[in-house]
Amino acid sequence: MPWVIQELVGTIDGSNRNFTINLVPVAGSLIVVQQGIILEAVGSQPDQMQVAYSVSGTNMTLGLAPLVGQQRPWCRYYY
C-alpha cells in the first residue's frame, strides 16, 4: 500500500469546513494537518472550532475553517 500526501481540496475563505481528498484512505491510516497541528479524528461531524476532523469516503469536515492566507490543510494516508 503506497502513501499519498496531498493538500485538501476545497475553498479557503474562513467559513468553509468541507473538503475532499482524491482517494478513500485505508481505515486508521489518515493523518490530517492544519497549521502544523495534527487533527484528531472524530466519529461524527466535529464541533465548530474543535481541532478535529471527520471523514466519510473522500469527503472531510474540519472543525476549524482555514482562513484566507493560511497554509492549506494537508493529509497523508494509505489507499
45-51 mean pLDDT: 92
Examine the pLDDT at 62 and tell me if it is beyond 90: yes
Sign of CA dihedral 48, 50, 54, 59: positive
SS3 41: strand
DSSP, residue by residue, 13-35: SSS--EEE-SSPPPTT--EEEET
Banded model confidence at residue 26, pLDDT cuts 50, 70, 90: very high
pLDDT of residue 1: 79
Query: Per the confidence metrics, is the pTM higher than 0.95?
Result: no
Average pLDDT, the chain: 96
